[in-house]
Amino acid sequence: MMNILKLYQRFIEDYLAIPVLTGKKSDREKFAGALTTTTAEALMSDGRAIQMGTSHNLGQNFSKVFNMKFLDKNEKEKLVWNTSWGVSTRMIGSLIMTHGDDKGLILPPKIAHTHVVIVPIYYKETDKKKILKKAEDIKKK
């Protein structure tokens, strides 16, 4: 559970360039049936937090209900210990809210390694100067 939470944090901060806070949910907020729920949350520019991913220690509660067992090294049946992890489209929405505005979206370099390539194409030599000028204008913008 904690390994996945750290993985989320590393991915969100290092690749999506969004600072997050990680921590444990209160008993009231944790996933129903879980022993522990952890979360990675980010603060958006409007002052609201958004949950970008969760990781749950489900203990053996679900194994008991669904009779999920394994054989241990002594070939005795034991109930499995479960974890559950999840991210959703909220992560994509958070990326857009963090790095986008009315003028568009600028993706962080680690997820947009090809920035912009302008390829001026002209068919007649007489159009070359005009098209190169337009390409230069676009580059400046």
88 and 22 belong to one structural domain? yes
81 and 115 belong to one structural domain? no
22 and 69 belong to one structural domain? yes
78 and 117 belong to one structural domain? no
- The yes-or-no verdict on residue 114 having pLDDT over 90 is no
**What is the pLDDT averaged over residues 9-30?**
96
115 and 97 belong to one structural domain? no
Q: What is the mean pLDDT of the chain?
A: 93
| Start-end of H helices in 67-126 | 89-99
**What is the pLDDT averaged over residues 68-95?**
94
Neighbouring C-beta atoms of residue 11, cutoff 10 Å: 19
Confidence of residue 113 (pLDDT cuts 50, 70, 90): confident
DSSP helix/strand/coil, 57: strand
98 and 32 belong to one structural domain? yes
53 and 94 belong to one structural domain? yes
Q: Give residue 94's domain range.
A: 2-103
97 and 124 belong to one structural domain? no
**CA distance to 2, 67, 97, 107, 124, per residue, from 92 (Å):** 22, 36, 9, 11, 43
- The yes-or-no verdict on residue 117 having pLDDT over 90 is no
pLDDT digits (tens, 9 = 90+) for 29-75: 999 999 999 999 999 989 999 999 999 999 999 999 999 999 999 99
Neighbouring C-beta atoms of residue 39, cutoff 10 Å: 21
